[in-house]
C-alpha cells in the first residue's frame, strides 16, 4: 500500500493529504470553486463551509475519482527552447528552469510541490491556486525569459575581454609597415622630386589597399567583435571563428600587396593568381565576419532595432561589395595584362571604401557612443535615420554616375545630385549632434584626453565633405574635374584627418577601458594628436598648393608631413602595445577576483558582470545611465562604488548593504536549486 494512502475521503480529511495522495483531485476542488492551496492544512468540512460548497457532493466526487483507475496524468517530455505549457510537470519545469522556482515560492507552494507533487502538471497548480493555466504559464515563461536574459548577461560577461586586441595589434602593424611607412616614403619621394608622379601607380594602390583593409578594416572587425555584442546584450556567435577570421584577412592583404609589387617585375601567371587568390581570401574573411556579426545580432531576439545598427550593417555590406568588385578588377586586369586599376573602376571603388564602408561604420560608432564620450544628449533617432538613408542613396547614385556619366549625360546631373545629397546628409548629421552642447551631460568619465581626437576628426570630416561638395558642384558647372593633387588632399583629409583620428581617439579610450587599465602614456597620446594634425594640415594644404599652384617650396613640407603622421601612429602603436602588455602582466598576477562582498573599492563593471542582479539595485538607486550598455561597458569599467556615489549622490552604507543582500540572496537560491 502506497505511503499516505487514502482509501476513503471524509469530512475530516486534510486538503493537503487528499492532494498529496491524488493530485488530480485538484480538478474536483476546482469545479467546486475551492482553491486548495489556500487552505492546505484545513479539513474538507472547513473549506466546504468557507467556500460555500456542498460537502456531500464534494466528498462523493472525490471518492468517485479515487476509485477510478486512471488517476495520474502523464507529464509531457521537455523540448529545449520550447515554452512552458500547462501539461508540463513541476519537476521538468523547475529542473530545466530553476528561475521558475521563484514563481512557486511566491505562491508559497514550492516546498509542498517538491515534496508531494513533483510530477504534477502546471494545470494542477493553476487550479490549486485559482489561476487560469494561461496566467500561471505566462508567469513561468516570463521567469524563463528573465533567466535567459540574465544568463545572456552572464554569458556576455563571460565573453573574452580581449577579442579585439589581436585585430588592433595587426591593424597597427599594417599601418606602421605597408600602410603609413610606405605612404610616407612615397610622399617623401614626391617631395624630394617636386612632383606627384614617378612612383608606379600599382605601388600607390597597394598602399591604399593595405590601409583600407589592414588599418581600417581590421580595426573595425576588432571593435565590432568586442563592442557590438555588449551593446546588444548578447554574446558573440562564435569566439573561435571570430578570432580565426583575423588569419584569412591578414593572409589576403599580404598576398595582394606582394602580388601588386611582383607584377612590376613581370606579368607572370603565379603573380596574377596570387592577386586573385589574395582578393578572394579577403572576400572569404569579410563573409565570415558578416556571418558571425549577423548571427550575433540575431541571437538576442528580444531587442528592438536601433538606427546605429543600420550604419554598421550597411558599412559591412559596402565593404563586401567593394571587395567583390576588387576580385573582379584583379581578374579583369589579369586578362588584360594591366597593372593598375582602370580609372572607371578606381573612383567608384574608392568612394565605396571611403563613404560606404569606413565613414558609414564610424558614423554608426559615433551615433551610439558620442552621447557617453562627449557628454551630449542622444541625437534624434529619426534624423539619424534620414542621414543614413540620404547617405546610402548618395553613395549608390554617385557610384552609378561615376560608371555611367561618360555614356549617359543624365548621369552628370545624378552625379551632382549625389554630391548634394551627401552634403545634406553630413550637414544633418552635424546638426543632430548639437556639438555646441558638449559636456552637457557628464557621465563621470574620469579621463577625457581622447575627446580632442573626436572633435578634431569631426572638424576634418566637415572640412573634407565641404570640399567634396564644392568640387562636385564646380565640376558640374565648369566641367573641370578635381585635380589629382586636390583629390589626394581630400582623400587624405578623410582617411587620416577623420577616420584615422577617430580610430586613434576611440581606441585610446576603448582599449584601456576594455582591459580595465589606464592608457600607458597620456603624454604619448598628446604627441600623437599634435603630430597627426600637423602632418595632415601640411599634407592637405601643401599638396594642392605645390602641385596645382606651382608653389614648389611647399613640396618639401608636403614630403616630410608623412613622417610626422607616421611618428604619430608609431607613438599610438607603442601606447597600445604597452597598455595591452600591462593587462597581460596583471593577468599573470590573476587580479580579477570574484566579488563575494561589495565594498567602496568594488569596480562597478566587474560587480554588474559577476552579479547581474546588482544592476537593478544600482538602477533603482538612480544610476539609470548604467542601463545604457555603452556606458556600462566603458565608464563603469573605470569607476568603483565609492566614486559612483560621488557622481550620483546616494547613501553609500545602505547601498552596500542592498548590493550585498542581492548577492547573498542569489547565492542562497543557487544553493537551494536541485
Ligand atoms: C601616414 C599617413 C599616410 C601617408 C603618408 C599616405 C601617403 C599617400 C600617398 C603619397 C599617396 C599617393 C598620392 C595621392 O594619391 O595622394 C596615397 C594614396 C592613398 N592613400 Fe595614403 N597615406 C597615408 C595614410 C593613409 C590612410 C590612413 C589611408 C586609408 C585608410 C590611405 C589610403 C590611401 C589611398 C586609398 C590612396 C589612393 C591609392 C590609389 O591611388 O589608389 N592612406 N597615400
Q: What mean pLDDT do residues 27-41 have? A: 74
Q: Do the Cβ atoms of 253 and 174 come closer than 8 Å? A: yes
d(CA 266, CA 246): 30
CA contacts within 13 A on the Cβ side of 281: 20
Least confident range from 58-62, 81-85, 101-105, 541-545: namely 81-85
* Nine cell digits for residue 176: 606602421
Cα(first)–Cα(last) distance of the chain, in Å? 29
Confidence of residue 73 (pLDDT cuts 50, 70, 90): very low
Q: Which residue among 174, 183, 541 is best mutated to probe the pocket of ligand 1, counting the most ligand atoms within 8 A of its Cβ?
A: 183
Smallest CA-to-CA distance from 575 within 151, 168, 142, 243 is with 168
- Which residue in 276, 357, 362, 296 sits closest to 322, CA to CA? 357
Query: What's the CA-to-centroid distance between 341 and ligand 1, angstroms?
Result: 15
More confident site: 562 or 626: 562
Q: Residues for the chain: how many in total?
A: 674
Residue nearest to atom 32 of ligand 1 (CA): 208
pLDDT of residue 6: 66
Of 104-108, 137-141, 338-342, 581-585, where does the model show the most confidence? 338-342
- Relative to the CA of 346, which ligand 1 atom is closest? 41
Q: Give per-residue pLDDT as tens, 317-329.
A: 999 999 999 999 9
- 1-74 CATH: 1.10.3910.10
Q: Is the pLDDT of residue 78 over 50?
A: no
* Non-local CB neighbours of 212 within 8 Å, separated by 6+ positions: 353, 357, 358
75-156: which CATH topology? SP0561-like (1.10.3910)
User: What is the Cα 58 distance to its own chain's centre?
Assistant: 61
pLDDT tens-digit readout, 44-56 = 888 887 777 888 8
Ligand 1 first shell, C-beta below 6 A: 180, 183-184, 186-187, 204-205, 207-208, 211-212, 215-216, 346, 350, 488, 491, 495-496, 499-500, 562, 565-566
**SS3 per-residue string spanning 579-615:** HHHHHHHHHHHCCCCCCCCCCCCCEHHHHHHHCCHHH
Cβ neighbourhood burial of 228 (10 Å; 0-12, 13-18, 19+): buried
- Is residue 207 within 8 Å of 186, Cβ to Cβ? yes
The residue contributing the CA closest to ligand 1 atom 34 is 208
Nearest to 333 by CA among 396, 278, 251, 400: 278
Q: What is the DSSP string of 522-574?
A: HHHHHHHHHHHHHHHHHHHHHHHHHHHS--GGGHHHHHHHHHHHHHHHHHHHH
Choose which residue among 208, 353, 503, 560 to substitute to test ligand 1 binding: the one with the highest number of ligand atoms within 8 A of its C-beta: 208
Summarised one tens digit per residue, pLDDT across range 173-189 is: 999 999 999 999 999 99
With CA atoms as reference, report the closest residue to 312 among 366, 356, 361: 361
Q: What is the pLDDT of residue 672?
A: 53
For the segment 452-468, what is each residue's pLDDT rounded down to a tens digit? 999 999 999 999 999 99
Nearest CA to 249 out of 285, 212, 278, 211 is that of 285
CA distance 502 to 496: 9
Nearest CA to ligand 1 atom 13: 488
Amino acid at each position: 500500500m502506497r505511503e499516505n494512502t487514502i482509501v476513503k475521503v471524509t469530512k475530516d480529511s486534510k486538503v493537503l493529504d487528499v492532494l498529496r495522495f491524488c493530485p488530480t483531485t485538484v480538478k474536483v476542488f476546482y469545479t467546486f470553486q475551492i482553491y486548495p492551496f489556500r487552505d492546505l492544512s484545513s479539513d474538507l468540512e472547513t473549506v466546504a463551509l468557507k467556500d460555500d460548497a456542498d460537502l456531500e457532493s464534494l466528498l462523493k466526487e472525490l471518492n468517485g475519482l479515487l476509485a477510478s483507475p486512471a488517476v495520474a496524468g502523464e507529464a509531457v517530455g521537455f523540448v529545449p527552447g520550447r515554452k512552458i505549457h500547462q501539461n508540463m510537470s513541476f519537476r521538468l519545469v523547475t529542473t530545466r528552469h530553476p528561475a521558475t522556482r521563484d514563481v512557486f515560492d511566491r505562491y508559497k507552494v514550492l516546498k509542498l510541490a517538491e515534496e508531494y507533487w513533483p510530477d504534477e502538471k502546471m494545470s494542477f497548480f493553476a487550479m490549486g491556486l485559482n489561476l487560469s493555466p494561461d496566467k500561471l504559464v505566462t508567469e513561468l515563461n516570463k521567469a524563463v525569459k528573465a533567466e535567459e536574459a540574465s544568463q545572456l548577461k552572464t554569458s556576455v560577461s563571460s565573453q573574452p575581454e580581449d577579442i579585439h586586441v589581436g585585430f588592433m595589434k595587426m591593424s597597427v602593424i599594417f599601418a606602421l609597415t605597408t600602410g603609413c611607412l610606405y605612404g610616407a616614403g612615397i610622399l617623401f619621394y614626391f617631395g624630394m622630386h617636386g612632383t606627384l608622379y614617378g612612383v608606379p601607380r600599382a605601388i600607390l594602390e597597394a598602399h591604399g589597399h593595405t590601409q583600407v583593409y589592414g588599418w581600417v578594416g581590421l580595426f573595425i572587425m576588432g571593435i565590432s567583435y568586442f563592442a557590438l555584442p555588449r551593446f546588444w546584450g548578447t554574446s558573440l556567435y562564435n569566439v573561435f571563428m571570430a578570432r580565426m577570421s583575423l588569419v584569412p584577412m591578414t593572409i589576403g592583404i599580404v598576398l595582394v600587396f606582394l602580388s601588386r609589387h611582383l607584377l612590376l617585375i613581370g606579368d607572370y601567371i603565379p603573380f596574377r593568381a596570387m592577386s586573385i587568390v589574395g582578393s578572394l581570401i579577403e572576400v572569404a574573411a569579410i563573409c565570415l565576419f558578416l556571418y558571425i556579426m549577423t548571427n550575433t545580432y540575431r541571437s538576442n531576439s528580444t531587442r528592438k532595432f536601433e538606427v546605429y545598427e543600420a550604419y554598421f550593417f550597411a558599412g559591412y555590406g559596402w565593404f563586401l561589395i567593394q571587395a567583390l568588385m576588387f576580385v573582379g578588377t584583379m581578374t579583369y586586369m589579369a586578362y588584360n595584362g594591366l597593372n593598375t586599376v582602370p580609372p572607371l573602376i578606381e573612383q567608384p571603388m574608392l568612394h565605396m571604401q571611403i563613404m560606404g564602408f569606413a565613414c558609414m561604420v564610424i558614423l554608426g560608432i559615433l551615433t551610439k557612443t558620442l552621447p557617453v564620450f562627449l557628454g551630449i544628449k542622444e541625437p534624434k533617432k529619426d534624423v539619424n535615420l534620414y542621414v543614413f538613408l540620404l547617405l546610402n542613396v548618395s553613395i549608390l547614385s554617385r557610384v552609378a554616375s561615376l560608371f555611367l556619366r561618360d555614356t549617359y549625360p543624365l548621369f552628370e546631373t545624378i552625379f551632382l545630385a549625389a554630391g548634394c545629397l551627401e552634403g545634406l546628409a553630413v550637414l544633418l548629421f552635424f546638426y543632430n549632434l548639437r556639438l555646441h552642447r558638449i559636456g552637457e551631460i557628464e557621465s563621470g568619465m574620469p579621463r577625457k584626453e581622447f575627446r580632442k581626437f573626436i572633435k578634431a576628426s569631426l572638424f576634418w570630416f566637415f572640412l573634407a565633405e565641404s570640399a567634396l561638395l564644392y568640387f562636385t558642384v564646380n565640376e558640374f558647372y565648369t566641367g573641370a574635374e578635381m585635380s589629382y593633387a586636390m583629390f589626394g588632399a581630400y582623400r587624405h583629409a578623410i582617411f587620416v584627418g577623420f577616420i584615422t583620428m577617430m580610430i586613434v581617439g576611440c581606441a585610446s579610450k576603448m582599449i584601456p577601458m576594455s582591459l580595465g587599465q589606464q592608457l600607458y602614456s597620456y603624454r604619448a597620446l598628446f604627441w600623437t594628436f599634435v603630430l597627426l594634425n600637423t602632418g595632415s594640415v601640411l599634407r592637405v594644404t601643401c599638396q594642392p598648393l605645390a602641385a596645382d599652384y606651382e608653389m614648389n617650396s611647399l613640396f618639401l613640407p608636403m614630403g616630410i608631413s608623412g613622417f610626422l603622421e607616421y611618428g604619430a601612429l608609431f607613438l599610438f602603436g607603442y601606447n597600445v602595445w604597452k597598455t595591452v602588455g600591462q593587462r597581460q602582466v596583471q593577468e599573470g598576477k590573476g587580479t580579477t577576483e570574484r566579488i563575494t562582498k561589495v565594498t567602496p573599492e568594488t569596480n562597478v563593471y566587474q560587480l554588474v558582470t559577476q552579479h547581474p542582479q546588482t544592476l537593478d539595485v544600482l538602477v533603482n538607486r538612480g544610476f539609470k545611465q548604467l542601463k545604457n550598455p555603452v556606458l556600462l561597458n566603458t565608464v563603469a569599467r573605470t569607476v568603483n562604488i565609492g566614486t559612483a556615489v560621488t557622481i550620483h549622490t546616494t547613501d553609500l552604507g545602505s547601498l552596500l548593504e542592498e548590493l550585498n543582500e542581492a548577492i547573498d540572496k542569489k547565492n542562497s537560491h543557487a544553493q537551494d536549486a536541485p
